[in-house]
Structure 1
Amino acid sequence: MRKELKIISLSEIKTEEVKWLWYPYIPFGKVTIVQGDPGEGKTTFVLSVIAALTHGETLPECETGLPPMNVIYQTAEDGLADTIKPRLEAAGADCTRVQTIDDSRSMLTLTDQRLEEAIHSTDAGLLVLDPLQAYLGSGVDMHRANEIRPIMKKLSAVAERTGCAVVLIGHMNKASGMKSGYRGLGSIDFTAAARSILVVGRIQDEPTVRVIAQSKNSLAPEGKSIAFELAPEHGFQWKGACEITVDELLSGGGQVQTKTMQMEDELKKMLNAGEISAEAIRIRADELGISERTLKIAKKNLGIVSAKRGDQWYWKLTKGVRV
């Protein structure tokens, strides 16, 4: 059958601005890939982002947060009851806003119509599939471009029609020394279709610290790398922007020093001998060029408590904080 030719003039296309779930890391209506080696904290990072979104909290490097939103989270690797929900609860998520599609009778795929139906029925602002390789469908060779390209095109179309941000979590291959764009498992068409790619990795000299570095951004300048910590005593904590590059992250090199970490160190020194007025701490933060928001994050990370006496507030360290 002869295909009908249809020409569209760009003059007829209405110009639209890109909307962002988290600028410049995760756009609405587009596909974002979060990738890294197993055990590097990809899922924990995404769950922490989800927790913040369900409460409308401000994400790192943003001035303000969005209204609380609903999220669809699909996983083929971890149990919902014994792993995902406990992690979300630990991150402080509003679990009434986190939904999942029941695919116990029919496995979900990236081209499944239920994805778009679920986005509409839940009014979800974010859809996460973890890991992406599990949702390709039986018989699909993830290394063949002619098979991956139409799948990613259909998924991208769903994201665009619904305006929902789609995040795919994926593993990386073991080919060290290659450019970051070629480190994802499978066809390069995964990378080509994504508008943003975030790489999660750890620093060799700081085993509890992880870094998110943006290796691709087709819609805006690449964002600063962002550090977070995964420590047994306190779990996940944001540590702020840092200068680690994608290449340094993939090689395990570089050093992480953020404004949040600097303020944490300063607070430990100041409060080691006892409580200090909040005003004195703010003056010191100003001297160091630390913003009010970063100061609040450092305070939260250290578990510092406030007490009011008279007309002044005082800060002090809680027991168990190492100085």
Structure 2
Amino acid sequence: MSRKERPAMTNPKEKTREELQAEIEDGKKKIRQFENREKMLRQKLSKEERRTRSHRLIVRGAVFESIVPEAKNMTDEEAAHHNAVFVGRDEDGVPRYAHQRGTAGNFRLDVKGSDKAFNFCYRGEGERLFVFEAPIDLLSFLCLFKKDWQKQSYLALGGVGDKALMCFLSDRPNIKTVYLCLDSDQAGNDACSRLVELMPEDLTVHRLIPLFKDWNEVQTRRNEITDGKYLREAVYGLKEPPQEETVEIIRMSEVDTQTVEWLWKPYIPFGKVTIVQGNPGEGKTTFALRLAVACSTGGTLPGMKPIQPFQVIYQTAEDGLGDTVKPRLIEAAADLDRVLVIDEAKRELTLSDERIEKAIIQNGARLIILDPIQAYMGDKADMNKANEVRPIFRRLAEVAERTGCAVILIGHLNKAAGGQSAYRGLGSIDFRAAARSVLLIGRVKREPNVRVIIHDKSSLAPEGKPVAFCLDPETGFEWIGEYDITADELLSGAGGNNATKTEQAEKLILDLLADGKEFASEDIEKAAADAGISARTVRAAKKNLDGRITSKRIGAAWYHALKK
């Protein structure tokens, strides 16, 4: 009926005072009922608002929104059903994913067009990422572990796929540690194993297993957990980044200062490797044997006190033990019981052979001589290749240092004429580099019986002066003393700058007898000895001066003077 068709109003019958009062009371009652109804509705709304706000407090700062009509990607029907929507955003904050979850029951559904690579997550500034199957598990975990949760990152996979995890890690290179918080069931365990294999090598991965099936169940049943332990198990180290090798460092402040002990100062130290080199037939082996004799018998070396006798190991690959080595040791009066040889009948010895160290220790040897070097390099090592020589010498040097034994290696010179002495050693220059002392032995060209030992390298003390010895066919081995010649002069055959010892002795005799003085032979030999000249050399010098001096015998002594 339209407003024009309404019937005309008639005046109502006048009501009594009592009727009007009754209507007023009835109106007041209805107002009270309405106010009560409004109050009840307000209370209900307040309760719902508190519930919704509670969810917001749990995820404050996270990408979570309760269902409201204005929410993006939601329909009126979703609002009517009062679902919760979990929104996943990219690094720029653009929504890329949405998941509907019923607040009651098991309803769940991804919104059409969602990209699971951008699942529900919270991006913190820390280096840790916690990974869950579902958003509700993520939120439940935060309810259980609230303290400082905003510092780290949290991600829901929307199942057990890897797409969201790989995308998150590629966008967040600051992540160093991943905690897999998937469900405590076979599917969750299998997914963890698979995800571990897919993650980058530089990550550390741990597994946090909830006490019940998932974290939401732990949250809803937490009143049952009296001890506050929400984990069934924590499995650490499912994956560890490759560990960078730690460089072992030695602080010089922690190194004990050691004093070098000398077999022959400054030429041959104990506990180090010394190389003795020279051309064939020029005295290397003779010197080595004489050294062995002095050590086995308690003999002396130039400038040193008598040696306390000790065991010597002498290995040679060039001379026979029975027909050459032993006869020469007997001739030099060696203590044969103290000169030892490692038996090579069953297995040839090499510089890397463990028998060297064992023999030194078991026999208390303080000197080992190996003659020549190349015979003990082994079949697999090329002595001309530094990379093969270096480790062999390093191990040998370690043996020398551990045992305190002097190691002497006899080596030949190469055939390169005119080169510096440092480059004349046979094989790699690393031979010389590894040795702490290098001695060069050579023949003096103008004195065929004289051999000179030149200290060609010294790492532990100033180089010693050249020292000579004589190999006289009649008198045998004899130390002569210091000799003024350089290594390069000795190798080139220049013969040195100063006169020979015999010439020095001749000059000494003439100086003593000058101005008509007369000297006894004993006094001349004493003066010569003080100058480092042997009595044998003095006798040779007097023989050369036979036409210039006179000799006469008075009692048991001989006296000499210049001829007038």
Q: TM-score range by the shorter chain?
A: 0.7 to 0.9
Mapping of 1:30-41 within 5 angstroms? 30-41=272-283
Q: For residue 195 of structure 1, what is the amino acid of its counterpart?
A: R
Residue pair 2:505, 2:537 contacting (<8 A) in 1 also: no
Distance 1:263 1:227 in 2: 15
1:134 partnered with 2:375: yes
1:7 partnered with 2:249: yes
Gaps of 5+ in 2: 1-241, 510-518, 540-554, 559-564
Match of 1:84? 325
Share of identical aligned residues, percent?
A: 55
SS of structure 2 residue aligned to 1:66:
coil
CA distance change for structure 1 residues 227 and 144 in 2, over 3 Å: closer, same or farther? same
CA distance change for structure 1 residues 258 and 64 in 2, over 3 Å: closer, same or farther? farther
> Offset at 1:231?
2.5
Distance 1:180 1:159 in 2: 25
> Offset at 1:232?
2.1
SS of structure 2 residue aligned to 1:290:
helix
- Could you tell which deviates more after superposition, 115-124 or 253-262? 253-262
> Offset at 1:259?
5.9
Which of these residues, 184, 189, 192, is aligned with residue 433 of structure 2? 192
Mapping of 1:116-155 within 5 angstroms? 116-155=357-396
Residue pair 2:505, 2:528 contacting (<8 A) in 1 also: no
Which of these residues, 151, 154, 157, is aligned with residue 398 of structure 2? 157
Distance 2:299 2:412 in 1: 28
Match of 2:529? 290
Q: For residue 291 of structure 1, what is the amino acid of its counterpart?
A: D
Distance 2:377 2:556 in 1: 56
Q: For residue 299 of structure 2, what is the amino acid of its counterpart?
A: E
Match of 2:261? 19
> Offset at 1:42?
0.4
Which one scores higher on RCO, CA 8 angstroms, separation ≥ 6? 1
CA distance change for structure 1 residues 261 and 135 in 2, over 3 Å: closer, same or farther? farther
Residue pair 2:502, 2:538 contacting (<8 A) in 1 also: no
Distance 1:119 1:169 in 2: 18
Residue pair 1:132, 1:168 contacting (<8 A) in 2 also: yes
CA distance change for structure 1 residues 63 and 137 in 2, over 3 Å: closer, same or farther? closer
SS of structure 1 residue aligned to 2:308:
coil
Distance 1:124 1:95 in 2: 14
> Offset at 1:147?
0.2
TM-score, normalisation: structure 2 = 0.49
Which of these residues, 227, 246, 250, is aligned with residue 491 of structure 2? 250
CA distance change for structure 1 residues 231 and 282 in 2, over 3 Å: closer, same or farther? closer
CA distance change for structure 1 residues 289 and 300 in 2, over 3 Å: closer, same or farther? closer
> Offset at 1:234?
2.5
Superposed CA deviations along residues 82-116 of structure 1, whole A, max 9, x for unmatched, are: 10111111122111110000011101000111000
1:55 partnered with 2:294: no
SS of structure 1 residue aligned to 2:443:
strand
Residue pair 1:143, 1:186 contacting (<8 A) in 2 also: yes
Which of these residues, 448, 459, 463, is aligned with residue 218 of structure 1? 459
Distance 2:504 2:317 in 1: 39
Match of 1:232? 473
Superposed CA deviations along residues 231-253 of structure 1, whole A, max 9, x for unmatched, are: 32222221111111111111111
> Offset at 1:291?
2.6
CA distance change for structure 1 residues 191 and 63 in 2, over 3 Å: closer, same or farther? closer
Greater gyration radius? 2
Superposed CA deviations along residues 105-161 of structure 1, whole A, max 9, x for unmatched, are: 101000111000111111111000000100001121111000000000000000000
